A and B are shown apart, each in its own frame.
Chain A
Amino acid sequence: MHVPDGFLDAPTSVATMVAAGGVVAASLVRASRHELDERTAPLAGLVAVFVFAAQMVNFPVGAGTSGHLIGASLAAVLVGPATATLCLTVVLSVQAFLFADGGVTALGTNVLLMGVIAVWVGYGVARAVLAVLPRRMSSVPLAAAAGSFVSVPAAALVFTGLFAAGGVAPIPLGPLVAAMVGWHLLIGVGEALITFLAVSSIVAARPDLVHAARGRMPALQLRTPEPVA
């Protein structure tokens, strides 16, 4: 999904850069005030590193096409949506400047698509799914997977909107939407699978750190043995 330089015209690229910059600035404030504390901070670093590593592994989705994890929903469920935006922004910036993966003038576009749209759509869907599933920790990976499945075609759909507004080639919108959403639904299946496995691992090891479960899961009964006289 990394948009290269040249797909969108300058005004559209600047507009996405401004929009992404605004959300990143707000996310810095929100993350420091509401999401990052002494206990969860290490997980934020680990999530960014995992997203970078997993994005290197393209999986085949058929007909000579591949996809890779975006990791937006995964990050939002584990460390909170604002911190997820920061994780994705760091990963996308390192990819653009060090690896020439995703354009430099398109960095704002890529942050907007993967670091904002995918994060908030994924998080919103995950929260909605959590609200209807039983209040158990085992619901969290399912909700994260559902959010991630929707987040990928959602980001693809927003790209087609940007391309309709400021794309450099006159492509009819119908076929573009059909192709982008169709392929990214397939990629979303892989995204959901990886998200389920990754979130399950953290839920198994450190359920206390999972952002989306904060205050929503019943407290465990702590049984202390009576002192032996």
Chain B
Amino acid sequence: MSADATPEGPRPRVSTRRLVLVGAAVCLVIAGVVSFFASRHPDGLQHVAQSLGFAGAARESAAAGSPLAGYGVDGVSNGFLSGGLAGVVGLVVVAVVMGGLVLLLRRLGRRRG
């Protein structure tokens, strides 16, 4: 038996392909299903703003007219479907934008050598 230290350090247990597929599936379930059961209470900042009396200063976002505003899909009346669909669309958009950015940075990084 010969023992060699690998320069890479700890070894992978699953392939990158499997990691991304399983990870994406978990995220789809979180955004598409689990999000329906999220707490509807105001978050920490909203709560503080309400209790200290500056919540009224909030103005409507310029994006308030978006068909996905508030994590729902315009025209879908079922709350579970509307929220789940909005979550899945958002997840795909984040994946495409971040994926594109990473590809671009990799290409630029290679060109620089």
Contacts and interface: CB of A to CB of B under 8 A. Distances in A.
Interface of A: 1-7, 28, 31-33, 36-39, 41-46, 48-50, 52-54, 56-61, 63-68, 86-87, 90-91, 93-105, 137, 156, 159, 167-169, 171, 175-176, 179-180, 183-184, 186-187, 202, 204-209, 213-215, 217-226
* Most central of B34, B37, B45, B97 by chain A CB within 10 Å: B45
* Most central of A5, A31, A63 by chain B CB within 10 Å: A5
Given A1-B44, A64-B41, A169-B57, A219 B98 contact: no
A135 to B, nearest CB: 11
Nearest to A168: B57
A43 B27 CA distance: 13
B61 A208 contact: no
Given A50-B23, A52-B90, A66-B39, A87 B4 contact: no
Where chain B touches its partner, the secondary structure class is helix
Query: How big is chain B's contact interface, by range?
Result: 35 or more
Contact of A219 (B6, B35, B105): B6
Contacts of B81: none
Interface string B28-50: 10110011011111111101110
A39 B59 contact: no
B63 A100 contact: yes
